[in-house]
Structure 1
Amino acid sequence: MITAEGLTKRFGDKTAVDDVSFTIKPGAVTGFLGPNGAGKSTTMRMIVGLDRPTSGLTTVGGREYRKLGAPLTEVGVLLDAKAVHTGRTARNHLRAMAATHGIPASRVDEVIDLAGIGSVARKRAGKFSLGMGQRLGIASALLGDPHTLILDEPVNGLDPEGVRWVRQFVRHAASEGRTVLLSSHLMSEMAQTADHVIVMGRGKVLADAPLEDLVRAWTTNRVRVRTPHGAALAQLVAGPDVEIVSTAPDLFDITGLPASRIGDLAAERGVALHELTPTTGSLEDAYLALTGEAVEYRTKEIA
């Protein structure tokens, strides 16, 4: 279990993390989301003792990270895949890490195979592609067979096979009762992976909820209807809580009525429908709605 209580971090006059509290429970994949500059990376760095909080406390398994006797065997961390001596081979990098905790060389071979870097294990890490560097970082996080995993953008640079492997692995780890904290900007991937979601913005927690609850609370379900009889359709569905938006001459998005009711009304009045498709909100929709006012670095929209 990972806990944060009143966690605050200031850099001069800049407050990167502002009174953040949460509990990340074992047995589930917790997604950690937020715009650039939201404070996610700083929070993860404080969890593993790389940054000291200005105030507040964070613990892993009930203890501060700095007080763990053998941290590699309790917490597996991937924050920066480039944090590797570029002159070392992947195998020697892992062996050096293992030696600090008395981890046998056989475990090094296991994580090399698990992460799929066997063919490059004897090559210098400085020559690795982005994807191979990520795989080495994941292997490093898994080296001590830890009960807690903290992974920052682990699928960055991976090919589709690697992305799917990470998804399957973290879900399997959670099913074994491990604690998994996973940060990513890929909403479609997070939607397939996370059970619970924590969203940060401008240093504060904006949401802390099961993924399905978050999507339900921050999105609106719509029904896409295609018909050559737009005016007749508008009359049929008219009501105080119903909104109909034309997205093409014969295509409409309707909110406020379920697809079954729209279909029944059209059948009763003889209005031909060529399409009747319910559309549910996505994690991306919910995320954008939730963080719209918390984006620190905003790009210019293309006209």
Structure 2
Amino acid sequence: MITAEGLTKRFADKTAVDDVSFTVQPGRVTGFLGPNGAGKSTTMRMIVGLDRPTAGRTTVNGAEYGRHRAPLTEVGVLLDAKAVHTGRTARSHLRAMAATHGIPNSRVDEVIDITGIGSVAGKRAGKFSLGMGQRLGIAAALLGDPHTLILDEPVNGLDPEGVRWVRQFVRHAASEGRTVLLSSHLMSEMAQTADHVIVLGRGKVLADADLGDLVRAWTTLGVRVRSPRAAELAAAIAGPAVEIVTTSPETLDVVGVPAARIGDLAAERGIPIHELTPTTGSLEDAYLALTGESVEYHSKEIA
């Protein structure tokens, strides 16, 4: 379990993390989301003692990270895949880390096999691609077989097979009762992976909820309708509080009218219906609605 209580971090006159409190429970994957500059990385660094809080505290498995006698066996961390001696081979890097905790070389071989870097384990880490560097970083996080995993953008640079492997791996880890805190900017991937979501914006907690509850709370329910007389049906259901988007000559996305009412109107007019499906928004829709006022860096709209 990971806890943060009133966590605050200031850098000169900038407050990067502002009175943040949350609990990351074991047995599920918790997604850690937020725009660039929201304070996610700073928060994760404070959890593992790399930054000192200005106020508040964090604990991992009941104790502050620095008080664990063998932290690699408590917490596996991937914050920066490039944090490796570039002149060492992957195997040498992992063996050096393992030696600090008395972890046998057999475990090094195990994590090399788990992460699929066996073919490059004898090569210098400085020559690794971004994806191979990520796999090496995950291998390092797994060395101590920890109960808690903190992974910052672990799928960055991975190919589709690697992305799927990370998804399956973290879900399996959670199924074993481990605590998993996972940061990513890939909303579609997070939607398939996370059970619970914590969202930061400008250093504050904007949401702390199960993924499904978050999506329902921050998106609009609608109905997808398919009919060979879609234009006629659109005219029948139009109204001041109704939003209709024509996505194809035969398909409408409707907000503001329940599916049953659409079906009744179609039946009254003899309009055939080939599809009438309730729809919900996506995690990306919910995230954008939630963080719209908290984005620090805005891109220019493309005409």
Equivalent in the alignment of 2:286: 286
Size of the aligned set, in residue pairs, is: 303
Secondary structure of the corresponding residue to residue 205 of structure 1: strand
Secondary structure of the corresponding residue to residue 50 of structure 1: coil
- Give the letter for the 2:196 counterpart: H
Q: Which moved more, 1:10-19 or 1:267-276?
A: 267-276
Equivalent in the alignment of 2:255: 255
| Structure-1 separation of matches of 2:225 and 2:167 | 35
Q: Which moved more, 1:98-107 or 1:247-256?
A: 247-256
Equivalent in the alignment of 2:187: 187
- Give the letter for the 1:299 counterpart: S
Equivalent in the alignment of 1:143: 143
**How far has the Cα of 1:21 moved from its partner?**
0.3
Tell me the alpha carbon deviations over residues 27-86 of structure 1, each in whole angstroms, 9 at most, x when there is no partner. Answer: 000000000000000000000000000000010011100111000000000000000000
TM value normalised by structure 2: 0.95
- Give the letter for the 2:181 counterpart: L
| Structure-2 separation of matches of 1:207 and 1:285 | 14
Equivalent in the alignment of 2:265: 265
Q: Does residue 111 of structure 1 match 2:88?
A: no
Equivalent in the alignment of 2:133: 133
Q: Does residue 75 of structure 1 match 2:75?
A: yes
**How far has the Cα of 1:267 moved from its partner?**
1.8
- Give the letter for the 2:294 counterpart: A
Equivalent in the alignment of 2:153: 153
Identity of aligned residues (%): 85
Equivalent in the alignment of 2:176: 176
- Give the letter for the 2:173 counterpart: A
| Structure-2 separation of matches of 1:231 and 1:96 | 68
Equivalent in the alignment of 2:32: 32
1:214-225 correspondence runs (5 A): 214-225=214-225
Q: Does residue 123 of structure 1 match 2:140?
A: no
Equivalent in the alignment of 2:18: 18
- Give the letter for the 2:157 counterpart: G
Aligned-residue RMSD, C-alpha: 1.7
| Structure-2 separation of matches of 1:231 and 1:108 | 64
Equivalent in the alignment of 1:101: 101
| Structure-1 separation of matches of 2:90 and 2:229 | 65
| Structure-1 separation of matches of 2:245 and 2:86 | 56
- Give the letter for the 1:189 counterpart: E
TM value normalised by structure 1: 0.95
| Structure-2 separation of matches of 1:234 and 1:118 | 59
- Give the letter for the 1:22 counterpart: F
| Structure-2 separation of matches of 1:252 and 1:163 | 33
In structure 2, the gaps of 5 or more residues are none
Secondary structure of the corresponding residue to residue 37 of structure 2: coil
Q: Which moved more, 1:125-134 or 1:255-264?
A: 255-264
Equivalent in the alignment of 1:3: 3
